[in-house]
Structure 1
Amino acid sequence: MGHWKAVIETKLKARSYANQKTEAKIGARILHRMTGLGQPTFERTA
């Protein structure tokens, strides 16, 4: 939740419900991308 608040802030800026949904989707996509960048990738070496 802390990452969400840092990226998106605490409240949505859009006024209409449809735009709030879009804003939340964009924020979630940004958050997922940030978490994906921080995760290591493992490759088998043998």
Structure 2
Amino acid sequence: SITHVVSRVAQETPVLNFLAAKLLMGTASLLTFTIPFTQKLRNRR
């Protein structure tokens, strides 16, 4: 699977591992922020 390949590459290179972790944390926090926001907009309509 794709996640398996990514994790394998990340293990070989610490820099990519760090960037991947930062990217995951960024998208996770972005999702948790945007999902309730979009729901509020839908409720207003």
- TM interval, shorter chain, is 0.5 to 0.7
Deviation at 1:39, TM superposition (A): 3.4
Two-structure CA RMSD over aligned residues (Å): 2.0
Runs of 4+ in 1 over 4 A off after TM superposition: none
Identical aligned residues as a percent: 13
Once the two structures are superposed, residues 22-45 of structure 1 have per-residue CA deviations (whole angstroms, 9 ceiling, x without a partner) of: 00000001101111013347xxxx
TM-score, reference length from structure 1:
0.52
1:36 equivalent to 2:33? Answer yes
Unmatched tracts of structure 2, length 5 or more:
41-45
Unmatched tracts of structure 1, length 5 or more:
1-8, 42-46
Give the Cα separation in 1 of the matches to 2:31 and 2:17: 21
Q: Which has the larger radius of gyration?
A: 2
Per chain length, whose mean CA-contact separation is higher, i.e. which structure has more relative contact order (CA < 8 Å, sep 6+)? 1
TM-score, reference length from structure 2:
0.52
Task: Name the one with the larger helix percent.
Answer: 2
